[in-house]
Structure 1
Amino acid sequence: MDQQTNKKSFKHFWQVTALVLSVVGLLSAIGATFWLVREYQQVALRYGLDSFNYQSSNKGAIYSSDGVVIAELSNKNKDHVPLEKISEPMKKSIIAIEDHRFYDHFGVDVIGTLRALFKDIVHGEAMEGGSTITQQLVRNLFLTQDKTFSRKITEILLAVNLERRFTKDEILEMYLNEIYFGNGCYGVEAAAQKYFGKHAADLDLAEATMLAGIPKSPNNFEPLHHPLENKSRQQDTLSRMLELKLINPEQAREAIQEQVKVHNFTNKTAQNNHYKFPYFTTEVINQLVEMYGKERVFNGGLKVTTTLDSRAAQAAEDVARQKVAEFRRRGIRASNMAIVSVSPRDGAIIALVGGVDFSKDQNNLALLPRQPGSAIKPINYAGALDKGIINENTVLNASSKKFGNYYVSSHTVGSVTVSTALKYSMNVPAVEVVQSLGINNTIKNLKRFGISTVTDSDANLAIALGGMYYGIKPLEMAAAYAAFANSGKYYKPYMIKSVEDSMGNVLYQHDSQPDQVISSRTAQIMTKMLQEVVRGGTGVRANISGNEAGKTGTTDDSRCLWFVGYNQEISTAVWIGNSNNRPVSGYSGGDLAAPVWREYMLTLMERHVITEPEKKYVPVVTTGPPLDEDVQKNQVKTDEQPNQNVPSDGNPQTPDNAAGDNSKANPDEPGSQPVESPPATPLPPDNSNPGNSNINQGNTNPNTSPNPANQQPVP
């Protein structure tokens, strides 16, 4: 009886389970269907498919904030031909090798897509493959080449929408006029004329199969520089045509044996697509394509107004090129530079130079993270100041110290104030501050200041000295310092002010919203201390009027040299180094980046981009940091050691002890004497990073000044 009851219970359990699973499956299917229908409609609206007309092509333009055209938006290298003026062998070849079920599917080849999906799952990422001609067309017209699952779904929905609007022949015509055939050839007519000196209507089977094999990988299969690879692809195409009975064996044999002459020509695409201020403009175009798709960007007649000031951008380009050329003449092994400026008032990017020669290196160093070195210290100090953990007069340990397994060496023995520690870029005090602030709070603070490249791998004390997994982008560094200049308000940096369509309708208008990351009082204290860095600390070679504020940064082997500085009008980050991360060696950020920043700022003043101060001062470089009243009769040395033999004009004599931020120099070197300081009072850190910290707080309230008479206005 019990056995029979158990069987009934077991059967009942599975019946209920099956019913629940069925209901869940049904609801999931209904939800997925609802989402797909809604997304299908939204995609059509987002990309304007209902009004899309491939034949119309309006020229658009990108403008600087001061009205200069910095780029024209149009497809210059396309020769459109109707489908009837494309040879039959060409049409058959491209369908055979790219999408042999083209005339049978509804925009998506289900069999091919499932096969590609299986490969995606096996590889753990979105791989190319399974795309129909229609999918390839919408990718070229509306999307980027990013290989993501979300983009693939959008691509599929766009393809189905496009098939609803156009016939198969219309789609094939658009495809053959849009697809890239390598060497600057967009569309089959341009390819036929460039490679073979004839029109697309006159292509024979051999020529057509050579061209049909290119789109899969234009840079690898084009016949001008890769004839063997192109021949192999031609054979693949002919084999597929044989298999589909589009040609007979004799035709295939003749096509393989035909000696086709490929014309030698120069690819002028790079010249034809030249933009003013290419690092900035290319990024603007990338953002526009993400917003509206390539077809609308290049054929929609858009009017785009950016934040760029053409005078500032030209100054940044000029200074970067001149200084790198000067480094080359002087034997300094720094071959590249990034300069980026933002407005503290709203985050507008005023100038952005991502390298000295866009034609040779398109990597935008202004947008690529680099190790920040000591340039990160002000952000960390600001976080501790704002929480009341320290103030500018708090006394910090400056002697070499081991923090658990993390040893930090110092050139100084004793204790110093926060202001002195920052002025001379001392490492041990910086670690003391981060330990007291707590690693978790330090990470959160960096993110509040807009640093997007912080990872879980950075949750250690090395971040106090700029040791990070990825680093920080120069753009984000400039935007972070801009908060000091604007009473603690952070604005996310942006490039595009507004976008209008060809009829003058506003499609987009930027609206800057501030985030109060630190108090106004904390920002004022940070500016006061960073002014001292420029007046007589590691940033002295950036001094113009005595009211500039900023911080240097130098990493091991001088791979990354920084100066980030600001006034009320502009915040600018200068990064110097090599794209391949090769060491510069022998120089600090104060030696090279600070003078570049100064020259750039003076140029902006001469061109009336920013206000010229009433007085200017030539930086005075002494044989070492001056004595500070906080450490009377004791010599304080920076851990970010500048080259003391580089005079104020930046001309080198002999590199001398140019240790980076993480220098392991002997703290007991001659001249370093113990500092008589008040007894250190331990300050308990937060729970995110237990440990001891030797900090004498003094007055730790950042909103009250221990010495109001010495307060100076924010520049």
Structure 2
Amino acid sequence: MTGGTETDTGDGERGGGRRGLAARPVARLLGLCLVAGLILAGVTFPLVGGLGLISNDASDTVSATSSDLAAGQLPLVTTVTDRQGAPIAYLYDQNRQNTPLEQISPTMRAAIVAIEDRRFYEHDGVDWTGTLRALVTNQSAGSTQQGASTLTQQYIKNYQLYVTARSASERLKATEATYARKLREVRVALQLERQLAEGTSKRQAKDEILQRYLNIVFLGNNSYGVGAAARTYFNTTPDRLTIAQAAMLAGMVQSTAQFDPVAHPQAATGRRNEVINQMRLQGMITPQQAQEATASPLGVSSAAPPANGCIGAGDAAFFCKYVVDYLDQAGLSAEQLNRGGYTIRTTLDRPALTAMTAALRNEVPAQQRNVADVMASVAPGQDRHEVVAMGSNRVFGVDGAALETSYGLPWEPVNLGAGSVYKVFTAATALDKGLGIDYQMQIPPDGYASPIYRDGQGNPFPVRNAGNYAPVLSMTDALAQSPNTGFVKLMEYTGVAPVVDMAVKLGMRSLAEPQGNGGKSIAEIAKEQNQGSFTLGVTPTSVLELSNVGATLASRGKWCPPTPIVGITDPAGAPVPVSEQPCEQVVPPTLADTLMTGMSKDDQPGGTSAAAAGENGWTRPMSGKTGTTQQNKSAAFLGFTPGIAGAVITFDDSSSPRPLCDGGGDSPPYACSDGNIFGGKTPARTWYKAMNPVVAATPVQPLPATDPRYVQGGTNEQIPEVTGQQVDAAEQTLREAGFTVVRSTVGNRAPAGTVVGQSPRGSALPDQAITLQVASGTVSAPPPPPGAVAAPAIGPAPGG
């Protein structure tokens, strides 16, 4: 056998009697003459009309096809790696690793030439001797007994099939058993070899075609090319293929199904030995080598190509999926990734992911129904915000019955919201409008009726608190203790729209994206409806974006997109540019610094995550904020240090969410009728468990210094200090500064009318009343003992 083993449909006649039998040789001879004439004519010039085998533009088509083949790029496997370069996933349409000829063993090259095209280095793309012999044999037999396609012709057909064809009809056309296709193949083969030989030797052109063929040919079990096949069947590289291994692969070209070494080992062995014998007969190997190779077992180690897609990335699957989605938004489509052969080095920190996954599943097992625990972490920076890790207690997959999911839990918005974490945006807006972090916030009682907190019909809706609070708290203490009424009251001053805009600026960018086909964004709706509930975090929230809010504050107010990409190279190693949004300075650096430090009490006694911090031995300076939505269907925690930011949301991920209850002790949370989960429980515990190993090997970093402007407030909202003044003068000073005044007389031996106290101090809302405590000049005598006469009041002290 000297040619390729491609099979075409024969036209064997069936006739009766001696007349039919006698007529067959004549008919076959006429057929051979016709076909030979057509081939010669077709190679020489294009035909018009006649049998319709070639059209007027055949020459142009052939030239274009050969040019495409000469410059064509094969579909290759894209490799996604972690930050250190270790692969985490492979993306491909065809499992192919492009391999230079010098990295393919001589035995592999010899085996494919021996069995498929023994005169490969002699002909010019078409083996005329083999073609005519195959025509005679096939016509005499009445069916296809021999193929005559050279490696060049096979390469052309394979290129049309695996590169050019994108639809089922195109693939069918690429392999149709017609003389028209064969004739076109012949002409392209001749022209391609001429093109490749221009400016070089025939041997070099042949080696180029052989290399391309060995990289494109399908070898079964989702393996395209000898590079992938060597790994799939023998767990080796193509440069180390033995005679027996090379012969087995070469033998599979005729039929990957019939000679599959896993499904049909005996047939594969027989075919392999046939190739070995051809190599011996053609002097490519010695009889001794042939004997040893024939006696060796197939030695197939496996037939499993690398898992295709992010589903094979294990715990890194969510991160991998985010990479694919991120690059699609950047203009590098999934189709390009699946065919481009890129190497994508990501920002994924494997140890951080391992710690995160362990923390997530320690708090909520993967199989816990109704409860998803999701986390993402981002590294702050002035030029980039790199995604460190992301994950979920859920396993990435498609088995819904096993609670697997391929939904982007760590970055797609969670519909149930993040709760009071959104109070950070109200606090940031208040600072931006002139208040200070030491501002004494009024904390209305539970059930407060706010003019901006209404139900869907516009009716007043009471604001509820989760606990009891002092009537006045500094903003710092309010962030740590999280009274709902206080922040709704603060939002009455800031306005809803500026708070929504602040959330978008700091990192919640998906809130500003139109919903559906050109619909309004969540941010637009919240502003139009003046939703006072926005500060309580009822809107859909992306865990990754929430993490990036922390990174923005830790980056002194510099927002950057949360990127998962370190760099991308093409198959030649050239860098591939990635279009990413530029960084933005969204708030003044000193505002961000002051707010970050103002959020530093959450892990301290009295803070909402203090218990979780203590349980997990957290001792470093950090900024944090917990959140819980109404009915306890979700809870969240945002925490960050100068070196890393992270967020966690725990929520009911079922189609009919229910309240969640904290399991207590080592028990996971569960769905219940009356929830009691809070951000300081499962979410905070997850955060501290995940972050402790990450920061353990890094030096302790202090929180940034504060700015008096954002501690005490701006000049417009700064309360003049009037303690010690006479009340009339003090009141005039305050009124001139824009404040209203309320007097309260207190027993004090200071001269009557002297201001001995004021509340609040520092900064206040423009319409907020300042209470002056005015001395009466006397203090009440202590109550007399039982039965004694009351003493007179005590007058001013001497000299007072």
> What secondary structure, in the 3-state scheme, does the structure 1 residue paired with 2:337 have?
helix
State the partner residue of 1:480: 549
> What secondary structure, in the 3-state scheme, does the structure 1 residue paired with 2:577 have?
strand
Residue type of the alignment partner of 1:62: V
**Counterpart Cα distance in 2 of 1:486 and 1:425:** 24
Report the CA distance between 1:136 and its aligned residue: 6.0
The match for 1:595 among 685, 697, 700 is 685
Structure 2: runs of 5+ lacking an equivalent = 1-66, 97-163, 172-187, 189-221, 225-253, 259-303, 398-403, 452-459, 512-521, 661-674, 703-756, 773-800
1:38-49, aligned counterparts within 5 Å? none
State the partner residue of 2:325: 286
State the partner residue of 1:562: 636
TM-score, normalised with respect to structure 2: 0.46
State the partner residue of 2:387: 349
Label 1:431 to 1:682 Cα distance change in 2 as closer, same or farther (>3 A).
same
1:520 aligns with 2:589: yes
Report the CA distance between 1:339 and its aligned residue: 1.1
Label 1:357 to 1:56 Cα distance change in 2 as closer, same or farther (>3 A).
same
Report the CA distance between 1:455 and its aligned residue: 2.7
> What secondary structure, in the 3-state scheme, does the structure 1 residue paired with 2:365 have?
helix
**Counterpart Cα distance in 1 of 2:470 and 2:701:** 39
- Contact residue 278 and residue 358 of structure 1 kept, 8 A: yes
Label 1:340 to 1:697 Cα distance change in 2 as closer, same or farther (>3 A).
farther
State the partner residue of 1:403: 450
Structure 1: runs of 5+ lacking an equivalent = 1-48, 79-132, 141-165, 167-183, 187-197, 203-265, 615-675, 685-692, 699-715
Residue type of the alignment partner of 1:588: F
Residue type of the alignment partner of 1:356: R
User: Which shows bigger deviation, 387-396 or 494-503?
Assistant: 387-396
State the partner residue of 1:340: 376
1:503 aligns with 2:572: yes
Label 1:297 to 1:682 Cα distance change in 2 as closer, same or farther (>3 A).
closer
The match for 2:410 among 360, 363, 366 is 366
Residue type of the alignment partner of 1:435: E
- Contact residue 423 and residue 536 of structure 2 kept, 8 A: yes
Label 1:287 to 1:480 Cα distance change in 2 as closer, same or farther (>3 A).
closer
1:384 aligns with 2:434: no
State the partner residue of 1:439: 496
State the partner residue of 1:529: 598
> What secondary structure, in the 3-state scheme, does the structure 2 residue paired with 1:377 have?
helix
- Contact residue 556 and residue 589 of structure 2 kept, 8 A: yes
**Counterpart Cα distance in 2 of 1:499 and 1:695:** 60
Label 1:327 to 1:415 Cα distance change in 2 as closer, same or farther (>3 A).
farther
State the partner residue of 2:481: 424
Report the CA distance between 1:545 and its aligned residue: 1.6
**Counterpart Cα distance in 1 of 2:598 and 2:652:** 30
> What secondary structure, in the 3-state scheme, does the structure 1 residue paired with 2:344 have?
strand
Report the CA distance between 1:508 and its aligned residue: 1.4
State the partner residue of 2:613: 542
Label 1:561 to 1:481 Cα distance change in 2 as closer, same or farther (>3 A).
same
Q: Deviation digits for residues 461-518 of structure 1, max 9, x if unmatched?
A: 43443344x4210111110121221222222211122221111111115777432222
Report the CA distance between 1:393 and its aligned residue: 2.8
**Counterpart Cα distance in 2 of 1:74 and 1:270:** 6
Report the CA distance between 1:612 and its aligned residue: 5.8
Label 1:365 to 1:458 Cα distance change in 2 as closer, same or farther (>3 A).
same
Q: Deviation digits for residues 430-487 of structure 1, max 9, x if unmatched?
A: 112222111221121112112122432223343443344x421011111012122122
**Percent identity of the aligned residues?**
22
Label 1:139 to 1:275 Cα distance change in 2 as closer, same or farther (>3 A).
farther
**Counterpart Cα distance in 2 of 1:139 and 1:443:** 52
**Counterpart Cα distance in 1 of 2:641 and 2:524:** 33
Larger Rg computed on CA atoms: 2
State the partner residue of 2:650: 576
- Contact residue 395 and residue 696 of structure 1 kept, 8 A: no
Q: Deviation digits for residues 108-145 of structure 1, max 9, x if unmatched?
A: xxxxxxxxxxxxxxxxxxxxxxxxx98868999xxxxx
> What secondary structure, in the 3-state scheme, does the structure 1 residue paired with 2:364 have?
helix
> What secondary structure, in the 3-state scheme, does the structure 2 residue paired with 1:369 have?
coil
Q: Deviation digits for residues 511-569 of structure 1, max 9, x if unmatched?
A: 77432222222222212221112212112123612511111111122211111100011
> What secondary structure, in the 3-state scheme, does the structure 2 residue paired with 1:362 have?
coil
**Counterpart Cα distance in 1 of 2:310 and 2:500:** 45
1:457 aligns with 2:525: yes
**Counterpart Cα distance in 2 of 1:559 and 1:677:** 42
- Contact residue 622 and residue 641 of structure 2 kept, 8 A: yes
Q: Deviation digits for residues 214-246 of structure 1, max 9, x if unmatched?
A: xxxxxxxxxxxxxxxxxxxxxxxxxxxxxxxxx
> What secondary structure, in the 3-state scheme, does the structure 1 residue paired with 2:759 have?
coil
State the partner residue of 1:99: none
Label 1:415 to 1:272 Cα distance change in 2 as closer, same or farther (>3 A).
closer
Report the CA distance between 1:50 and its aligned residue: 7.4
State the partner residue of 1:552: 626
**Counterpart Cα distance in 1 of 2:70 and 2:565:** 24
Label 1:695 to 1:341 Cα distance change in 2 as closer, same or farther (>3 A).
farther
State the partner residue of 1:81: none
> What secondary structure, in the 3-state scheme, does the structure 2 residue paired with 1:357 have?
coil
**Counterpart Cα distance in 1 of 2:349 and 2:575:** 22
- Contact residue 77 and residue 91 of structure 2 kept, 8 A: yes
**Counterpart Cα distance in 2 of 1:52 and 1:547:** 62
**Counterpart Cα distance in 1 of 2:87 and 2:578:** 19
1:61 aligns with 2:107: no
CA RMSD of aligned residues (A): 4.6
- Contact residue 355 and residue 361 of structure 1 kept, 8 A: no
Residue type of the alignment partner of 1:589: G
- Contact residue 311 and residue 317 of structure 2 kept, 8 A: no
Residue type of the alignment partner of 2:759: P
State the partner residue of 1:671: none
- Contact residue 89 and residue 308 of structure 2 kept, 8 A: no
